[in-house]
């Protein structure tokens, strides 16, 4: 669908202010080669950036062609993507390096190794013409039932997370790629996924997880991303993304961050359901954000957000000096990062598996499971994070073609009945039972218990956070699963 831009939008504001307002937007879009007409018009008006998703990715040559086409329209356009590693990313079909998630890196606790993993990811981005990475995660995993941070965090201890943030940020910067610490001032203390509803962190100020963000600032991180989380100790009325007390008073004035502050995606239900994307864009910029992300492919939503910002400027409810300040920060970022590297030096393609192996190696060896029947229990992939659904059986069979198995990615109607059917298929083969954060998904625990009750010789594996002594991969990225499969079959 093509949206007609109101003629009054350009006429009502000075051209430079109109451009400044557009520079404060980051847009998602659909397509892998052709640039949509609405997006071309936004870029012509000064759009600050675009964000790519799996829907925009086919292969490496196609991505580089797409980013070249975008910059041919505007040389200082920032091209961004979520690229955390550990299976959380959108570039699998474009040859993304396989690195374990942050939690595994924190378990190894070798910042030099973390830097090598970050270098591989950033080098790959630079080769594709992508120069903004919305990573690393600076949150702490401090709430056992947190549904969204978990193995995306480097850990639950501020010192560990801080030193790995520094390593990641410095390695990414060395590649000429902008990193972005997220989600300020921390998403790890919540019990809610802000993709689905508004999250609240009820802790007092002195217990909030600010130390990693201080470390990121000290490391020179050029961008931060806000959290759609309410912190009553800071502002009882608004989530951080929309709070002047948090974005200006805390982040700018108290912590001294002078880089670009970008919102998390406005279509997330924590903002969209309560405020609406358009109002969210206007309020976030007024509160102190420099850019707002509208990640949905429907550019009509981006245009609605843009029109809300322009309307607020015309009415005076959004101060002109606030938008010009934000625009200048984005302009400065673009001067540093918008132009991708022409020649990209090679990165280490094996560093991710090395890191994943080191995370697993500190545990007891469980070799001898050749010919096993693997039961892999895991939740459906999170659509926003785009974990690709990698499974343990695939990695086991790559090492041992005689392995068989069952993958279950959703709650069964009858856990006992499923367990019985699995055991009949397994016969006398060694049994491996893997769960992924079964505390959050009790159906996994019910199936696992039913299996282990009848086969106490079975080997338990955890592919999320650690679970009661089970052999743990610390994540479901391909490298994580390959490393734990090697231990199970005795391949190393």
CB 458 within 8 A of CB 451: yes
Provide CB contacts within 8 A for 350, sequence distance 6+: none
Phi, psi of 473 (to 5 degrees): -95, -20
Does residue 183 carry a catalytic annotation? no
| Helical ranges in 347-391 per DSSP H | 351-361
Distance CA 234, CA 292 (A): 21
Out of 22, 124, 164, 195, pick the active-site residue.
195
CB 79 within 8 A of CB 131: yes
**DSSP-derived 3-state class of residue 472:** strand
Distance CA 190, CA 202 (A): 8
Distance CA 391, CA 382 (A): 15
- Among the listed residues 154, 67, 157, the one whose alpha carbon sits nearest the alpha carbon of residue 117: 154
Query: Alpha carbon 8 to chain centroid distance?
Result: 38
For the chain, helix (H) and strand (E) counts, in that order, are 18, 18
Phi, psi of 50 (to 5 degrees): -125, 155
Q: How far is CA 329 from CA 60, 133, 307, in A?
A: 30, 17, 21
Query: Alpha carbon 126 to chain centroid distance?
Result: 18
CB 394 within 8 A of CB 405: no
Q: Which two tokens stand for residue 235?
A: 């502002």
Query: Alpha carbon 101 to chain centroid distance?
Result: 10
Distance CA 281, CA 302 (A): 9
Distance CA 126, CA 148 (A): 28
**DSSP-derived 3-state class of residue 138:** coil
- Say what angle helices 392-399 and 478-489 make with each other, to 10 degrees: 50
Sign, CA torsion 29/33/34/40:
positive
Q: What count of other Cβ atoms lies within 10 Å of the Cβ of residue 281?
A: 31
**Eight-class DSSP state of 34:** S
Phi, psi of 291 (to 5 degrees): -140, 150
Distance CA 172, CA 419 (A): 46
CB 50 within 8 A of CB 77: yes
Does residue 382 carry a catalytic annotation? no
Out of 18, 209, 264, 376, pick the active-site residue.
264
Phi, psi of 83 (to 5 degrees): -150, 65
Catalytic residue set: 195, 264
């Amino acid at each position: 669908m093509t949206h007609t831009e109101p003629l009054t939008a350009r006429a009502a504001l000075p051209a430079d202010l109109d451009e400044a307002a557009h520079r404060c937007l980051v847009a998602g879009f659909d397509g892998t080669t052709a640039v949509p007409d609405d997006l071309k018009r936004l870029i012509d008006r000064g759009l600050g950036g675009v964000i790519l998703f799996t829907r925009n990715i086919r292969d490496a040559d196609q991505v580089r062609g797409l980013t070249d086409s975008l910059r041919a329209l505007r040389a200082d356009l920032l091209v961004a993507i979520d690229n955390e590693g550990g299976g959380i990313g959108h570039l699998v079909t474009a040859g993304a390096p396989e690195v374990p998630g942050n939690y595994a890196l924190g378990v190894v606790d070798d910042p030099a190794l973390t830097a090598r993993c970050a270098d591989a990811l950033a080098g790959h981005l630079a080769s594709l013409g992508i120069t903004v990475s919305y990573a690393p995660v600076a949150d702490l995993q401090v709430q056992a039932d947190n549904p969204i941070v978990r193995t995306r965090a480097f850990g639950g201890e501020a010192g560990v997370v801080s030193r790995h943030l520094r390593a990641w940020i410095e390695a990414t910067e060395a590649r000429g790629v902008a990193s972005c610490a997220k989600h300020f001032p921390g998403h790890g203390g919540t019990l809610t996924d802000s993709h689905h509803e508004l999250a609240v962190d009820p802790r007092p100020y002195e217990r909030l997880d600010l130390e990693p963000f201080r470390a990121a600032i000290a490391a020179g991180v050029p961008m931060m991303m806000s959290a759609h989380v309410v912190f009553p100790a800071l502002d009882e009325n608004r989530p951080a993304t929309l709070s002047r007390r948090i974005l200006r008073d805390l982040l700018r004035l108290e912590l001294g961050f002078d880089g670009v502050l970008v919102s998390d995606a406005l279509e997330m239900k924590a903002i969209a359901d309560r405020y609406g994307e358009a109002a969210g864009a206007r309020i976030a910029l007024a509160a102190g954000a420099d850019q707002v992300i509208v990640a949905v492919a429907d550019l009509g939503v981006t245009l609605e957000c843009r029109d809300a910002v322009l309307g607020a400027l015309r009415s005076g409810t959004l101060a002109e000096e606030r938008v010009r300040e934000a625009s200048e920060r984005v302009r400065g970022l673009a001067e540093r990062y918008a132009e991708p590297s022409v020649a990209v030096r090679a990165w280490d393609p094996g560093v991710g598996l090395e890191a994943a192996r080191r995370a697993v190696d500190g545990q007891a060896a469980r070799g001898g499971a050749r010919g096993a029947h693997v039961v892999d229990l895991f939740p459906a992939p999170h659509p926003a994070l785009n974990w690709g659904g990698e499974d343990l059986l695939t990695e086991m069979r790559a090492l041992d073609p005689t392995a068989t198995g069952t993958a279950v990615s959703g709650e069964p109607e009858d856990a006992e009945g499923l367990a019985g059917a699995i055991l009949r298929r397994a016969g006398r083969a060694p049994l491996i039972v893997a769960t992924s954060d079964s505390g959050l998904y009790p159906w996994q625990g019910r199936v696992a218990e039913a299996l282990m009750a009848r086969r106490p010789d079975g080997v338990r594996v955890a592919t999320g956070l650690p679970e009661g002594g089970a052999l743990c991969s610390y994540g479901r990225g391909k490298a994580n699963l390959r490393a734990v499969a090697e231990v199970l079959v005795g391949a190393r």
